[in-house]
Amino acid sequence: MKGLQMVDLQTQYQQVKPEIDAAIARVLQKGVFIGGEEVQAFATELGQFLGATHVIPCANGTDALQIALMALGLQPGDEVITPSFTYIATTEVIALLGLTPVFVEVDPATFCIDPAAIEAAITPRTKAIVPVHLYGQAANMEAIMQLAHKHQLFVVEDNAQAIGAHYTFADGTQAQTGTIGHIGCTSFFPSKNLGCYGDGGALYTQDAQLAEKIKMIANHGQKVKYVHEVVGCNSRLDALQAAILRVKLQKLNSYIAARQAVAAAYDAAFQDVSGLSIPARNSCSTHVFHQYTLKVNKGQREALQQHLQVLGVPTMIYYPIPAHKQHMFAQFGVSNLSLPVSEVLCTKVLSLPIHTEMLPEQQQYIIESVLSFFKWNKSQ
């Protein structure tokens, strides 16, 4: 059996090698590496896939979040509500811009930001909410948008882990994650469901004025070359990555289906195991399973992780420390903030390998390896 990996990008490449190689060759032959037809074509195709009117590619997902907040015209000291249980990029851009991160709890079942916690944290200085669609499913966007409308707040969706997920509103209408708030942000980091072969990201919005401002900020604050209207940055998706993403975008729905199949097999194997909690599903959202993340109860996570490591099964902890406990945010006086749900999750979550090319025998080995730990412990 081939060695196990959290994500098998080598095998995925072999599956699409002729198309990827042709796309790269096309860019090399044209000699246009920054901007150009490939980047514009990818933006158009991604917009069509998402149902987004405006798509602005950029250098990476962190830049996308930073540019989004810059485009909203927020001022130093303005408060931005965000979950503490998330990847650090979500929160660090808030501090980087001189804004004040306000960390709140997540739903203990879905691990996505809790709308009730958002509402409790709103003050006169609150200007924006950054919900994270964690692990591949949507936060409760209907409730979040209702709060945003009520309090006149911006919503920037961190969609780095959930591109392709669908959210269903109470009236039955659907929208893709990232297209519901004022701005959606995503990452094309290689391990993502839609990943390139380097760094990449994008912002999307239905608002033409916001789109124009985002384009300016991502291009040194200019519409016309050498005429700089606002402070910006240099954040571009290069043509090679755009060409690669155009190929992989066509495969995204099949990639998602493959991940969902792996998740379903894990669910069936682990749902009755005492000591494990399988991922809960938000009834309003599809789940695209960027990660398959278990809760390991009874203080057994580290022992299970070591057991799997001995057997050659890789695992990851997303995330071991909540943002409000990171030293980088001590300046905001949050070190003593108590967010028990987030803090407990950081001691329990464990992600198993999940990817589009996982073979049945590989998954069966992973399942048997996990089950063997609990059988051994039960016999002791």
SS3 label, residue 193: coil
Q: Is the peptide bond preceding residue 365 cis, with omega within 30 degrees of 0?
A: no
Distances (CA, A) of 314 to 191, 273, 309, 311: 15, 20, 6, 9
Residue 376 clears pLDDT 80, i.e. is over it: no
- Tens digit of pLDDT for each residue in 140-155? 999 999 999 999 999 9
Q: What is the mean pLDDT of the chain?
A: 97
Tokens 């009874």, located at residue: 298
Residue 218 clears pLDDT 80, i.e. is over it: yes
Q: Is the dihedral of CA 170, 171, 176, 181 positive or negative?
A: negative
Q: How far apart are CA 240 and CA 167, in angstroms?
A: 31
pLDDT recorded at residue 244: 98
pLDDT recorded at residue 89: 97
Residue 327 clears pLDDT 90, i.e. is over it: yes
Residue 375 clears pLDDT 90, i.e. is over it: no
pLDDT recorded at residue 3: 87
pLDDT (mean) for 94-122: 98
For the chain, which domains are there?
9-104+111-249 (3.40.640.10), 252-379 (3.90.1150.10)
pLDDT (mean) for 356-372: 96
pLDDT (mean) for 2-17: 95
pLDDT recorded at residue 2: 81
pTM of the entire predicted model:
0.97
pLDDT recorded at residue 335: 87
Q: How far apart are CA 68 and CA 155, in angstroms?
A: 10
Percent of the chain scored above 90 by pLDDT?
Answer: 97
Mark residue 238 as left, alpha or beta (left: phi above 0; alpha: psi -120 to 50; beta: remaining): beta
Residue 210 clears pLDDT 90, i.e. is over it: yes
User: In one letter, which amino acid is 301?
Assistant: R
pLDDT recorded at residue 377: 63
pLDDT (mean) for 90-118: 98
SS3 label, residue 191: coil
pLDDT (mean) for 264-287: 97
pLDDT recorded at residue 379: 52
